Chain A
Amino acid sequence: MSDIIEARGLVKRYGEVTALDGLDLTVPEGTVLGLLGPNGAGKTTAVRILTTLLRPDEGRAVVAGIDVTRDPQGVRSRIGLSGQYAAVDEHLTGFENLDMVGRLYGLGRARSRARARQLLERFSLAEAGDRPSKTYSGGMRRRLDLAAALVAEPPVLVLDEPTTGLDVRARQEMWDVIRELVGGGATLLLTTQYLEEADQLADDIIVIDRGRAIAHGTADDLKSQVGGERVELVLRDATDSRAAFAALATVATSEVQRSESGRTMGARVDSGQHALAQVLRQLEEARVEVVDIGLRRPTLDDVFLELTGHVAEEHEQTDERELVGTKEGS
């Protein structure tokens, strides 16, 4: 498998600020690379360099065999970009948008039109296709934007935060669409600040923070980097706290962490299944009642926290929680 995107030592500075500080990345053909990081980590700068919108101060990037600084026009005819902000013309209809992009890729009139209709169909926009895109929902606009990136069937797709700002349902729909593309063998560079999104869609993940790659691997690799499984439990009655703590301590490979109330606790363990069975046995013998107990694998959130020392996108997460909260409340 050859690398269809290859970047070495990308550096970009804006005055005092170093947006990219020697970023390396490779994307083998037919795979999905997730570039994961918080706002301001340098994801968008990297994407802009790889899609010829920005010249790096240092470093070299080759996309589909072409150097991005030497032959940007050559790169442009081989990539499809779907940006963070849906780059569609709000006054044009969905069809007109796609047709315009097709013509600008150099497709002939007939082919461009046929392709536009085909993509509208594929992205469930056929009905809305002749309405100005101003009337579209956020999710529809993103789908249209993604469709625009696919007009010329480019060998490389770059999606810059494709679901940022979408509600939960629209995000899910977007994921389905992207999964389908991936299933069809597309090569994809995807940036995201959602750990779950990288986990769901990417074969390979690069965690980026302050312009540098700080970790690289599959979602599983990254999770095991943080440590193995944890046993976590919630007690019915806080008075059992001491007994449960003791039970957990017999299998723990880390300090047992306990909540203030003493009802919730957890610890890292080595072989999860055995550890869980042993804890259960001991709790049984001590007649401790639990409302919940189980094995938990670390999430990419844990990975991120461990690697960067700060939580990814606190604001976004708060928003999400609020959103879920309102949904449940209504």
Chain B
Amino acid sequence: MTATLTRPETPRRSTTPASVLSDSWVIAKRNLIKIKRVPEILVFILISPIMFVLLFAYVFGGAISVSGSPEGYREFLIGGIFAQTVVFGSTFTGAGLAEDMQKGIIDRFRSLPMSRAAVLIGRTASDVVYNVLTLIIMALTGLLVGWRIRNSAIDALAGFALLLVFAYAFSWVMAYVGLLVPSVEVINNASFIVIMPMTFISNAFVPLETFPTPLRVFAEWNPVSTVTQAARELFGNTSPAAVTSDPWSLQNPVLYTLIWTVVIVAVFAPLSIARFRRTSA
């Protein structure tokens, strides 16, 4: 065995885009193995969206009518639930990171000649898998309660893709929050403060007409509203009556959402990476 231990020339690693990608994949794989080993996480992650769909469809569904019927509300609702759930899912990114930061493993990563950014890129990337699973479960539940895709499959896929892209961007926000908080316990409360207003002051659950003006303006330009609107349009869940005097954001929800996505990543990815480099656990 000593024969095989002859020292090779120590690899001198320089950070190239290829090495960042490969390191990120190694980290993402590591995060995904955890799903396999702790399936309980997955169960809870999948149960909560089912609960959301059912709660909103049957608890609020009776009280709110869109296009004059509870069925109309359910149809209206699903896009909103999708958006809300993937945004909530980003908390998972923050929690995972905050948990890592408390453990010795992060020192291991820091002492390796790997890309620093890969720890964060790998984390946000593996969380896309969670969101895919969540969306599948929610869509199936939605179909059970009467939601229907009324557009082409391509449009519908574009709708899911947009939700995933937006969720990915948002997980960078939570990655940053996860690096700011001192412990995992704090992250849930911290993310609540960000996520609750963003998802509730939006058109996710109720039409905007009822909002007082300042809230309505916020909601109209809130990317959660536009991603919801985009999903509804792409799934064919908008009632023609609802489109009236919408501002530009809601007229062009896909484009507007994509702009937000790019801006969020452009701001929060460098912020998080810089923060990660600076913090010494």
Chain A residues engaging chain B, CB cutoff 8 angstroms: 48, 51-54, 73-74, 76-79, 81, 83-89, 91-92, 96, 100-101, 103-107, 118, 121-122, 132, 148, 152-155, 184
Question: For window 117-175 of chain B, which residues contact chain A by CB distance below 8 Å?
Answer: none
Partner among B10, B19, B33 whose Cβ is within 8 Å of the Cβ of A96: B33
Residues of A within 8 A of B37 (CB): 91-92, 132
A76 CA to B18 CA in the complex, in Å?
A: 19
Chain A residues positioned under 8 Å from B26 (CB to CB): 100, 103-104
Pairwise interchain contact B13-A106, C-beta atoms closer than 8 A: yes
Annotate B88-104 by CB proximity to A: 1 below 8 A, 0 otherwise.
Answer: 00000000000000011
Chosen A-B contacts, 29 in total, with CB atoms closer than 8 Å, are: A53-B110, A53-B111, A54-B280, A73-B13, A73-B14, A73-B113, A74-B113, A76-B112, A77-B12, A77-B13, A81-B111, A87-B103, A87-B105, A88-B108, A89-B105, A96-B30, A96-B33, A103-B26, A104-B113, A105-B113, A105-B114, A106-B19, A107-B11, A118-B4, A121-B1, A132-B37, A148-B108, A152-B11, A153-B7
Scan residues 1-48 of chain B and give those whose CB is less than 8 A from a CB of chain A.
1-2, 4-5, 7-8, 10-15, 19, 22-23, 26, 29-30, 33-34, 37-38
A77 contacts B10, C-beta separation under 8 Å: yes
Judge whether B11 and A91 touch: CB under 8 Å: no
A153 to B9, CA, bound (A): 10
* Known contacts A92-B33, A100-B26, A106-B13, A87 near B107 by CB under 8 Å: yes
Q: How far is the CB of B98 from chain A (nearest CB, A)?
A: 16
Partner of B113, one of A76, A87, A96: A76
Cβ distance B233 to chain A, nearest Cβ, rounded Å: 41
Q: How far is the CA of A155 from the CA of B9 in the complex (A)?
A: 10
For the complex formed, measure the closest distance between the CB of B222 and the CB atoms of chain A, giving whole angstroms.
Answer: 37
* Least Cβ–Cβ distance between B180 and chain A, in angstroms: 19
Q: Which residues of B contact A77 (CB under 8 A)?
A: 10-13, 113
- In the bound complex, CA of A154 to CA of B110 (Å): 16
Report the separation of the CA atoms of residues A294 and B10 in the bound assembly, to the nearest whole angstrom: 52
Contacts of B103 in A (CB 8 A): 85, 87
Q: Which 3 A-B pairs have the closest CB atoms?
A: A87-B104, A87-B108, A77-B113
Is the Cβ of B280 less than 8 Å from the Cβ of A104?
A: no
- Chain A, Cβ-Cβ closest to B25: A103
Interface residues of B in 156-199 (CB under 8 A from A): none
A154 touches B111 (CB 8 A): no
- Could you tell me if B30 and A153 are in contact, using CB atoms closer than 8 angstroms? no
Of the candidates A92, A148, A154, A184, the one whose C-beta lies within 8 Å of that of B30 is A92
Q: How far is the CB of A205 from chain B (nearest CB, A)?
A: 24
B1 and A118 form a contact (CB under 8 A): yes
Interface residues of B in 28-84 (CB under 8 A from A): 29-30, 33-34, 37-38
Contact between A105 and B105 (Cβ–Cβ < 8 Å)? no
Chain B residues bordering chain A, tally (CB within 8 A) = 35
Q: A87-B105, A132-B37, A153-B5 are in contact. Are A51 and B111 (CB under 8 A)?
A: yes
Question: With A77-B12, A87-B105, A91-B34 known to touch, is A103 a contact of B4 (CB < 8 Å)?
Answer: no
Q: Is the Cβ of A73 less than 8 Å from the Cβ of B15?
A: yes
Nearest A residue to B100, CB-CB? A89
In the complex, residue of chain A having the shortest beta-carbon distance to the beta carbon of B11: A106
Q: How far is the CB of A10 from chain B (nearest CB, A)?
A: 15
- Please measure, in the bound complex, the distance between the C-alpha atom of A213 and the C-alpha atom of B182, giving whole angstroms: 33
B109 contacts A by Cβ under 8 Å: yes
B2 closest partner in A (C-beta): A184
CA A175 to CA B12, docked complex, whole Å: 31
B39: min CB distance to chain A, Å: 11
B107 close to A104 (CB less than 8 A):
no
A84 to B14, CA, bound (A): 28
A89 to B12, CA, bound (A): 25
Across the interface, name the chain B residue whose C-beta is closest to A86: B104
> B114 — nearest CB in chain A belongs to which residue?
A104
Q: How far, in Å, is B143 (CB) from chain A's closest CB?
A: 34
Query: Given known contacts A73-B14, A88-B105, A91-B38, is B112 in contact with A104 (CB within 8 Å)?
Result: yes
**How distant is the Cα of A241 from the Cα of B34 in the complex, in angstroms?**
68
How far apart are the CA atoms of A83 and B280 in the complex, in Å? Answer: 14
In the complex, chain A residues whose CB is within 8 Å of the CB of B113 = 73-74, 76-77, 104-106
Min CB gap A87→B, angstroms = 4
Residues on the B chain within 8 Å of A153, using CB: 5, 7-8, 10
Bound-state Cα–Cα, A42 to B26, Å: 34
- Shortest distance from the beta carbon of A182 to any chain B beta carbon, whole Å: 15
Q: Are B111 and A76 in contact (CB under 8 A)?
A: yes
Interface centre among B4, B104, B109 (most CB of A within 10 A): B104
Besides A89-B30, A153-B5, 7 new A-B residue pairs in contact (Cβ under 8 A), listed by A number: A73-B113, A76-B113, A77-B12, A79-B111, A103-B23, A105-B112, A155-B10
| Docked-complex contact A103 and B22, CB < 8 angstroms | yes
Q: How near does chain A come to B176, taking the closest CB pair, in angstroms?
A: 21
Asked if residues B4 and A81 are in contact (CB atoms below 8 Å), the reply is: no
Question: In the complex the two chains form, is B12's CB within 8 Å of A74's CB?
Answer: yes
Residues of A within 8 A of B13 (CB): 73, 77, 105-106
Query: Could you say which residues of chain A place their CB within 8 Å of the CB of B34?
Result: 91
Q: Tell me the B267-281 residues at the A interface (CB within 8 Å).
A: 280
Nearest Cβ on chain B to A96's Cβ, whole angstroms: 6
Question: B23 contacts A53, CB within 8 Å?
Answer: no
Chain A residues whose CB sits within 8 angstroms of the CB of B23 once the complex forms:
103-104
A152 and B10: CB pair below 8 A?
A: yes
Residues of B within 8 A of A48 (CB): 280
Distance, CA A54 to CA B111, complexed state (A)? 10
Taking each of A48, A76, A100, which has the highest tally of chain B beta carbons within 10 Å of its own beta carbon? A100
